[in-house]
Amino acid sequence: MGLEIVKELAAAGQHVLLGTRNIARGQAAITQLGAANVDPIQLDVADDNSVQAAATQIKDQCGRLDCLINNAGIALDNYEAPSTIPVATIRKDFDVNFFGLITVTQAMLPLLKLAPSAKIINVSSAVGSLTLASDATTSIYQHSAVGYQASKTAVNMFTVDLANELSDTTVTVNAVNPGWVDTSFAGGGGDKTVQEGVVRTVELALLATNDITGTFSDTQGIVPW
């Protein structure tokens, strides 16, 4: 989904920085896109030094950041029951999905505040919704990926708290549910194409106005917390 987001934002005329753990692979992806307005930037969300270096590079090269899309994520649970899943596995989920997201956001926030109007978009998941997970009529009720799910629930809370903190600034913060997207991440069994999965993220990023904040949404509207 990250590459599709880059593709669509670039096609809309945005200057896009593609975060990649491996610069060579990132550049290869950009070459495949054929977009002149996309640049790679080395970024490993689980490496504090990498994150700080990326923030410094963006400041030096661009001066500010208009939109931060936190899309990095892993799911290591392998559908193991919450009563037996190793805590170490849950910690690894959180290191990328939650702590990595916070590390990147905090490092980029000074650059976002330098923009006339800026957006933070956190790619979350409906499986992190406590409301849906506790409703026996939903498909999420029997879902078993407690590390991944809990990390996304935590992302939602961070979204709310940060949106509240920044409510008197020009920076908005929102979470997006892409749905079950047919990628290798989803095990190839998703019911949405990659293009369908990025619709709401791209829509928020390209909105001319910036008055939506503190929400969790998808293409159908508001997703319950």
Strands (E), 59-139: 67-70, 118-123
In angstroms, the CA 126 to CA 137 distance is 14
141 is catalytic: no
Selecting among 112, 127, 147, 148, the annotated active-site residue is: 148
Which residues is 39 bridged to in the sheet?
17
Nearest to 57 by CA among 12, 20, 98, 3: 20
Q: Residue 11: CB partners within 8 Å, gap ≥ 6?
A: 35
**Contact present, 178 and 155 (Cβ < 8 Å):** no
Please state, in angstroms and as integers, the Cα–Cα distance from residue 197 to each residue in 109, 153, 206, following that order: 26, 19, 16
* Residues catalogued as catalytic: 148
